Amino acid sequence: MESKKSIIQSAVSTLELEAAAILNVAKNINDDFEKVVSTILQSEGRVIVTGIGKSAIIAQKIVATFNSTGTPAIFMHAADAIHGDLGMIQINDIIICLSKSGNTPEIKVLAPLLNNAGNKLIGMVGNLNSFLAQQADLILNASVEKEACPHNLAPTTSTTAQLALGDALAICLLECRKFNESDFAKYHPGGSLGKKLYLKARDLALTNEKPSIKPSASVKEVLIEISKNRLGAVAVIDDENRILGIITDGDIRRMLENNGNIATLKAEDIMGRNPKSIQHDALAVEALELIKFNNITQLLVLDQKTYFGIIHLHDLLNEGIV
């Protein structure tokens, strides 16, 4: 049984080896890398990413990153390619082939077929003297000195280098396309990430009631309105639907503590006169930041200068924004 110290040392050593490999890959970024980015940007087709073994798994991740950042991509397993899947490749598609050795049997069969079809072939390869490197139109150098595996066998450092190089490609393409948060939201509509990028304040406010009273309303009317709508607050508005203030549960408690006779009190006597608010077309995540910064639980939503609704902290929690 390995000691705790040796286990920790092994983990640290692995991460240090892989970090060093990524730094070495960065040093190998050259004109070919720039040409690969330019070729993809100018292409009217898709990017087909292929590989065998562990490289195939990394290829799938690169495809997923490409697709989510504005570069249409498809994964093709190198073994399946030579048994029918070559049919997925269209005339304008670009192929990126991942291989550490560049000399596997499947790659040796596949590369000439791709060249014969006239598609641009990019080799992400760890051996610059390999068959794949010789067949490729452009090369992405993913060479590493050794694997993190103590036997220098299991693909570890080499696949990390491929993964990092794929991310570098994706980010360069993203920046060249000026792919922004709105574009990102189109491809990530599900889950909390997507909601942070597209959900607006109005979307939340519209799911709630719209509690409001006039400044002359009695304390009883205030309590009824707050209880009826279950938002813990009510907006005080004028005849033109403009915000004059807000009354919260906390305001009610403070009123009861500080006043012996509440019969003559009106809404305007107990309302907060500088309520925090947000425009209805602002992102919900901006509403969250306002709520957190001001240490409040309700936020008024406006349409220009008029009252639109209320957002409660629970609305943001329910949507997974928090």
CATH number, position 237: 3.10.580.10
Residues 168 and 75 in one domain: yes
pLDDT attached to residue 71: 94
pLDDT in the model for residue 191: 60
Nearest Cα neighbor of 25 from 125, 141, 122, 160 is 141
Question: Is there a domain that residue 247 lies in?
Answer: yes
Spell out the alpha helix ranges (H) of 240-295: 249-258, 267-270, 284-294
- Give dist(CA 231, CA 210) in Å, integer: 9
- Parent domain of 56: 4-179
Binding residues: 77
Counted domains in the chain = 2
Give me the percent of the chain exceeding a pLDDT of 90: 73
Q: According to DSSP H, which parts of the chain are helical?
A: 4-27, 31-42, 54-68, 78-81, 105-117, 131-135, 157-176, 181-187, 191-198, 201-205, 219-229, 249-258, 267-270, 284-294, 313-318
- Based on the fold, state whether residues 172 and 292 are members of the same structural domain: no
Is 106 within a domain? yes
Q: Answer yes or no: is 34 within a domain.
A: yes
| Known binding-site positions for Zn(2+) | 77
Per DSSP, what are the bridge partners of residue 283?
200
Is there a single domain that holds both residue 290 and residue 245? yes
Strand 298-303 to 277-279 pairing: parallel
Q: For residue 312, give the 3-state DSSP assignment.
A: strand
Q: What does the pLDDT average to over 274-286? A: 93
Residue 45 sits in the same domain as residue 163: yes
The pLDDT, as a whole number, for residue 1 is: 59
Please tell me whether residues 44 and 79 are part of one structural domain: yes
Vertex 41: Cα angle to 36 and 43 (nearest 5):
95
Q: Based on the fold, state whether residues 20 and 147 are members of the same structural domain.
A: yes
Q: Could you give the 3-state DSSP secondary structure of residue 295?
A: coil
* Tens of pLDDT, residues 61-120: 999 999 989 899 999 999 998 888 999 999 999 999 999 999 999 999 999 998 888 899
pLDDT band at 186 (very low <50, low <70, confident <90, very high): low
Identify whether residues 94 and 161 lie together within a single domain: yes
In this predicted structure, the answer to whether residue 149 has a pLDDT above a threshold of 70 is yes
- The pTM assigned to this predicted structure is 0.68
Q: Is residue 102 part of a domain?
A: yes
Count Cβ atoms below 10 Å from residue 280 Cβ, excluding itself.
20
Looking at the fold, whether 17 and 120 belong to one and the same domain comes out as yes
Same domain, 148 and 279: no
Residues 163 and 208 in one domain: no
